[in-house]
Structure 1
């Protein structure tokens, strides 16, 4: 890179890193606060909650990296226009590559970061997070459920125990109404918490399961000798969701064990997770190109630069919304993965074509009228108030 390109890259990198830290902290705090009630129900959680919450950071940071690159790039390009540096670069005869190259390098650097998290750090952090949640729920059952009392663990889940002696529980009762179509009630003469490696399972012994549809009065009773529960969210472990695909390595997702129970029940989830990991980095490049489309053209100080940031964020949010919708359809229909791959690639091609044509979105008439609408409304309201004030009796007396 030339000296000027390094200058632009350095400014864009600093701005993007600042945006990344701010966005990641905001999302992390929201996620951590949503789980703060764990501290009230677990003694060990009070000491481990910070570590568990930190395990959320890699995936959260990777999720906001494309937006941080977009915001950082647009801020720098707007700054170049505000300081007339962009106009000087254009007047000196420098090509668009002077602006294009450092921003693309920034997008590629963000893509490498996202790939590193998606295929390396992310699965390890996700596994550590869910293992921490599982251990917290173990403490919730064994330490904080008082014998003879019905404790509402969540709005739709009530648990009661007769006696608790370490990991052994006697006379366990669970009422689960989280299913919108079915009420589940569990009775067990005894329950115990078994450690399976880094995981813990709540095993129910010698009990009954009562299933009652919400729309009817019939009740089906199922007797069982043993029944397993996933302590990460207190739901049955035999639904195939004990180990989440986010905890699996990329190699396992690409070449899963055909005998794996989870893969046999829901193979589309493996495809969905692998597709997400291999496409997420492309949005860093797509958003970097979109930033150039929105703010890369030279403009004067009189031309509003706020439109660039608004257009940039609006387009980015719209693209990610469509991508999220398409990704959610991969699990039931794995062939949709092709569309998920094509979406960011098409965005990159579309943005590249706009850059080659020198399109300035902020100067398109319909965009200008849209952003001028609040100003025109405010101006009309001010004129209306002035006319009413000039026609009032008080003003006539004056």
Structure 2
């Protein structure tokens, strides 16, 4: 089994025209590299003559070279994808736990079930991933390229003739995939998850929760029901209930029970009454029918008449709802906030690409010298932190002044262009001194 450096060199050497003692310069970079590889595999130089490679060898050799490049690209993508996924999961997990702790009070105060708690907590992920994935990608790229540089793998690839842009290609492919993922999250999945989460929390607070039934007071509900609860105890137990029902025209029903509890069914919430009676009055005849029961279910809508109407927030809008709007439908401040939210979502995929290029440029810039890479890594991390802070500050300021939306794009494009400039051929390399004069 060959070492990784030797295997890479065999796949690539040389991308320049090669000469052997039995042949002239082989035509073409691809043919030259593949003739060497084929010769190493067969321990001889098949097809290498003074006239070059026969035409019958061109297609299989090109296929072999393409396979070698695909193998190298996959190797570099896997080297960066692993650390990226690890850092992203760690950051997302930490923030997810801190955010989920906010819902503990709702479990206690609104009798929220654990299933609903985990469901709401899961809906936080589409909001967190667009923030943590760019940071995880930067750390993963920086670590992967630094490790390949420390293991001399990048040196071997450069010696084989690969340019800096060719070395950055696999990282750009991974960055493009992450940018598309972030765009899908911010454009559609994040607003959908945000809307679903707020709907669920509203339902538990004003529909499924017994907190709506105030203790010692008559609570009118929107469905022509009035509920009185003498005492609420832990676990959702209700004591001393009186329910007056006028939902059916021409009849009024009054139910009294010693105790009861809330039941959450698929068709809607119900109150299970225990040890009580049901009195039904017919308004036409004036007759009253009394029914005594041990258990009785009452379908009930716990949305009180004083419950607020849930208004959708800006974060619940999709990308179309943020840009394809009529300014006349909103006041000036609200319109600016909506536009700032839309530009913020467009900026996050660009930030993902900028972070990846900054990490790659940090390692590829200059000479492959282990002694100087540490300082470059610190500079790269500081630059990424400043870029993140600047983008965050500008997007916040754009909510009041739309001009800052333009500055966000200028800053991100400048970071991308600057990283590409640092990866150009010869960037950071020492200038050769004058040739020594002949004696």
Structure with larger Rg: 2
Indicate the structure whose relative CO is greater, using CA pairs within 8 Å and at least 6 residues apart.
Answer: 1
Q: Could you state the TM-score of these two structures normalised by the residue count of structure 1?
A: 0.64
Q: CA 1:5/1:32 → structure 2, altered by over 3 Å: closer, same or farther?
A: same
Residue 313 of structure 2 corresponds to which residue in structure 1? 244
Residue 16 of structure 1 corresponds to which residue in structure 2? 84
Q: 1:320 and 2:391 equivalent?
A: no
Alpha-carbon contact 1:55-1:125 (below 8 Å) kept: yes
1:112 CA displacement: 0.5
Alpha-carbon contact 1:202-1:230 (below 8 Å) kept: no
Residue 350 of structure 2 corresponds to which residue in structure 1? 282
Alpha-carbon contact 1:111-1:281 (below 8 Å) kept: yes
Paired with 2:105 and 2:363, the residues of 1 have a C-alpha distance of 44
Runs of at least 5 residues in structure 1 that lack an aligned partner in the other structure: 149-161, 171-199, 205-227, 232-241, 364-398
Residue 190 of structure 2 corresponds to which residue in structure 1? 122
Alignment partner for residue 158 of structure 2, among 85, 90, 100? 90
Paired with 1:84 and 1:331, the residues of 2 have a C-alpha distance of 48
Runs of at least 5 residues in structure 2 that lack an aligned partner in the other structure: 1-65, 229-301, 431-439
Q: CA 1:264/1:46 → structure 2, altered by over 3 Å: closer, same or farther?
A: farther
1:123 CA displacement: 1.3
Q: CA 1:202/1:286 → structure 2, altered by over 3 Å: closer, same or farther?
A: farther
Q: Could you state the TM-score of these two structures normalised by the residue count of structure 2?
A: 0.58
Paired with 1:312 and 1:40, the residues of 2 have a C-alpha distance of 46
Paired with 1:247 and 1:85, the residues of 2 have a C-alpha distance of 47
1:265 CA displacement: 6.1
Residue 221 of structure 1 corresponds to which residue in structure 2? none
Task: State the number of aligned residues.
Answer: 286
1:308 CA displacement: 4.7
Residue 138 of structure 2 corresponds to which residue in structure 1? 70
Paired with 2:392 and 2:304, the residues of 1 have a C-alpha distance of 34
Query: Which secondary structure state, in structure 2, belongs to the residue aligned with residue 256 of structure 1?
Result: coil
Alpha-carbon contact 2:212-2:303 (below 8 Å) kept: no
Q: CA 1:312/1:30 → structure 2, altered by over 3 Å: closer, same or farther?
A: farther
Paired with 2:308 and 2:93, the residues of 1 have a C-alpha distance of 33
Q: CA 1:93/1:277 → structure 2, altered by over 3 Å: closer, same or farther?
A: same
Over the aligned positions, Cα root-mean-square deviation in angstroms equals: 3.2
Alignment partner for residue 7 of structure 1, among 65, 70, 75? 75
Residue 272 of structure 1 corresponds to which residue in structure 2? 340
